Amino acid sequence: MDSRSKTEITVQGIAASQGIAYGQIFVYLQSEVEVPSYQVEPEKRIDEVGRFDRALIVTRQQISKIKNEVEKNIGPEEAAIFDAHLLVLEDEALIGETIREFESSGRNIETCFQKISARYVQAFAEIDDEYIRERAGDLRDVAQRVLHNLLGQAENSLNRLADRRIVVASDITPSESATLDRSAALALVMDTGSKTSHAVIMARSMKLPAVVGMRDITQRVTNGDWAIVDGYDGVVILNPSESTLFRYGKILEKKKTFEARLLEVSHQSAVTLDGVPVSLMANIEKSDEVATAKAFCAEGVGLYRTEFLFLNSARIPSEQEQLLVYKSVVEAMAPLPVVIRTLDLGGDKPMAGKKDLFPKETNPFMGFRAIRWCLEHSEIFKDQLRAILMASHYGNVRLMYPMISSAEELARANAVLAECQAELRARRVPFDETMQVGTMIEIPSAAQTADLLAKQCAFFSIGTNDLIQYMLAIDRVNDRIAHLYEPTHPAILRTLRFVVAEAHRQKLPVSVCGEMAGDPVFAPLLLGLGVNCLSMSPAWLPSVKYLVRAMTMADARALATEALSLTSPKEIYARCDAFYRARVKMD
């Protein structure tokens, strides 16, 4: 039955990336596959067993091909993990039990194989032996591949969507979001997540509407269902009626008219009505985003996330490989500045297939990540630092460290950088001797010792995403408590005021590169608190520039003063929202 004839259902989630999309749903089930169950006629049972044999052969060929490619491109040690996968396909007990289940039940072979393989997976997973438990994972992966082949399905993939679709998923990892098919994805909807999860940040940079924190949306929809995704109000409307489609058509017309006005001012200067210039820069994580940043007249790159060069590789990129990538970005943006952040791996961004480098942690966000990881893996860190230094010869490069928690930690990082500078001098490799070095302020201890950190660096960049989650003890990717993640909490505003004051006292500029910077509701508050530069996803530059040109800095300072006097985060947000709405008319 056509899903558009079904009853309309409205599901509320968390608005994560603005925009409206209408289309059919593609359910991205990372490891699960929907298996039909039906009775096989007696005369077709021999053919059914033959179909099972062919699926096993095809699966074996697929895994062998993957193994050979990994061995060729990465190495034999990494390829060896697929030996266990191949052994699963030769497991006589698994295959024999599947056929016996088929002979006794008469149900289709997919149903029988799924039942038996699931029983094995559960049995292995419950055994108190690490090797056996890992084999449960091997079996699960292979079983899903066999089922895909039995059903004649290509594996669910985000980098080759067959047509334009709304992607619905339980969760999407950073590396998965990086492979999202930009030409075919209409919107992103997730069971889990928050406004600052990495998949959402990617969606914003791609100008995709996104709604997260939907709890069980993947269980309520099927491939091909029609839906409206409202990234403004955080709503997903399943099976929308004609009247709903008409209403959203009118809303979309207004939004498009407003977006056209935004684009008109995107090539003009970001100067307030009372003549104060504001620096607006772009956050990027891949070199192809430079074109968008330049198209929207970014005044440079305020945050270049380098970890995606590592997340999209099964091995650690070499110094030379990193140099080529950094150099391409720096040359493309020259003479504008590019602020390159050193590796922020760990937390929600572990490097796949590197268990020895990224051991499992109970609380990874507060664990072995970012600068802590780099200082312990100094050779990997030094490769990156040398690559950044060499790239500085080709343009205007600034370097900054993530997750600095103390002046001592900053000193250690700077000492490693000094070693790299000495090594390059010894090799007679040119680099910018005057390259500015700054630090992220995203841990409360760093914020409270801003005066000490300021003595060892040239600038601050406030990462509001992590700073808010650490200060408020709110896991920003936990959908159950995402509503408690409040950028307008008085503790956050007081901390921002303190950091800015200490930096300015020592003549250091301060930028904000967290998601607050790209939200036009919060941008005036940040500028009113004294922030010098806002860096955001390139797609948000026109919205923020439009608001900057529609306000006075005097009013922004008055807004900040009023906000600091209030006690309720919701009341502060209401003041910011009213400030925004008074200056930006959609109609």
Q: Which value, to the nearest 10 degrees, does the dihedral of the CA atoms of residues 568, 569, 571, 576 take?
A: 150
Percentage, residues of the chain above pLDDT 70: 84
Q: Write down the H helix ranges in 232-289.
A: 242-265
Q: Give the whole-angstrom CA distance, residue 209 versus residue 215.
A: 18
- Range 75-78 contact pairs with CB under 8 angstroms and sequence separation of 24 or more: 75/315, 78/314, 78/315, 78/353
**CB distance 133 to 125 below 8 Å:** yes
Helices 45-73 and 109-125, axial angle in degrees (round to 10): 50
In this predicted structure, which of 74-83, 227-236, 500-509 has the lowest mean pLDDT? 74-83
In this predicted structure, which of 82-86, 255-259, 511-515 has the lowest mean pLDDT? 82-86
**CB distance 3 to 226 below 8 Å:** yes
Buried b / exposed e over 97-122, threshold 16 CB at 10 Å, is bbbebbeeeebbbbbbbbbbbeebbe
- Could you tell me the pLDDT band of residue 196, with boundaries at 50, 70 and 90? low
- Could you tell me the pLDDT band of residue 534, with boundaries at 50, 70 and 90? very high
Inform me whether the pLDDT recorded for 193 exceeds 80: no
| Other Cβ atoms within 10 Å of 570 Cβ, number | 9
- Could you tell me the pLDDT band of residue 175, with boundaries at 50, 70 and 90? very low
Inform me whether the pLDDT recorded for 100 exceeds 60: yes
Q: What is the pLDDT of residues 374-392, one digit of tens each?
A: 999 999 999 999 999 999 9
Q: What is the pLDDT of residue 78?
A: 47
Q: What is the pLDDT of residues 416-450, one digit of tens each?
A: 999 999 999 999 999 999 999 999 999 999 999 99
Among 516, 488, 496, 514, residue whose Cα is nearest residue 573: 488
Q: Give the whole-angstrom CA distance, residue 228 versus residue 239.
A: 8
Q: Known catalytic residues?
A: 198, 513
What's phi and psi for 260, nearest 5 deg?
Answer: -65, -40
- Please tell me whether residue 371 adopts helix, strand or coil conformation: helix
Q: What is the pLDDT of residue 32?
A: 59
Q: What is the pLDDT of residue 364?
A: 66
Inform me whether the pLDDT recorded for 478 exceeds 70: no
Q: What is the pLDDT of residues 53-92, one digit of tens each?
A: 999 998 888 888 767 765 665 455 545 666 777 888 888 8
- Could you tell me the pLDDT band of residue 555, with boundaries at 50, 70 and 90? very high
Q: What is the pLDDT of residue 230?
A: 95
Average pLDDT over residues 28-49: 82
Q: What is the pLDDT of residue 489?
A: 96
Q: What is the pLDDT of residue 216?
A: 86
Average pLDDT over residues 297-318: 86
β-partners of residue 167 are 26, 188
- Please tell me whether residue 271 adopts helix, strand or coil conformation: strand
Q: Give the whole-angstrom CA distance, residue 82 versus residue 80.
A: 5
Q: Write down the H helix ranges in 300-406.
A: 308-311, 319-333, 370-376, 378-391
Q: What is the pLDDT of residue 159?
A: 61
Specify the higher pLDDT residue, 485 or 488.
Answer: 488
In this predicted structure, which of 5-19, 159-173, 284-298, 564-578 has the lowest mean pLDDT? 159-173
Tokens representing 561 are 């003063």
Q: Give me the chain's average pLDDT, please.
A: 87
Length of the chain equals 587
- Please tell me whether residue 168 adopts helix, strand or coil conformation: strand
Inform me whether the pLDDT recorded for 1 exceeds 50: no
Which secondary structure element, helix H or strand E, spans residue 337, and what is its range?
Answer: strand 337-341
Q: What does the radius of gyration of the chain's CA atoms come to, in whole angstroms? A: 26
**CB distance 323 to 364 below 8 Å:** no
Q: Which domains does the chain have, with CATH numbers?
A: 3-28+164-248 (3.50.30.10), 42-150 (1.10.274.10), 277-539 (3.20.20.60)
CA 42 to chain centre: 51
Q: Give the whole-angstrom CA distance, residue 414 versus residue 410.
A: 6
- Output the CA torsion sign for 515, 519, 523, 529: negative
Q: Give the whole-angstrom CA distance, residue 468 versus residue 129.
A: 39
DSSP-derived secondary structure letter, 196: T
Inform me whether the pLDDT recorded for 109 exceeds 60: yes
**CB distance 252 to 229 below 8 Å:** no
